[in-house]
């Protein structure tokens, strides 16, 4: 997945076509953990996060992704928060 993310041609070249990848432009990555994205909004106006993953479950995979990007010499800005709204 990291290899694919680095190689996706989503940036415009000199002709305005999306032919350039993150590596081509020397770009950087902002990684934000989103282990609390699961929200139950079925009833009421307050989302419930009781089925969301625990922070400990997300930290190892998140650190793994950071290491993989670093090996590709891509600058990483990382945000990992253990804040859970319950």
Catalytic residue set: 34-36
* CB contact at 8 A, 53 and 4: no
């Amino acid at each position: 997945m990291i290899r694919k993310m680095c190689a996706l041609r989503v940036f415009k070249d000199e002709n305005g076509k999306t032919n350039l990848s993150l590596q081509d432009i020397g770009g950087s990555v902002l990684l934000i953990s989103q282990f609390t994205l699961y929200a139950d909004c079925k009833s009421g106006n307050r989302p419930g996060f009781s089925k969301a993953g625990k922070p400990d479950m997300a930290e190892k995979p998140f650190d793994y992704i950071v290491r993989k990007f670093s090996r590709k010499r891509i600058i990483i800005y990382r945000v990992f928060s253990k804040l859970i709204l319950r």
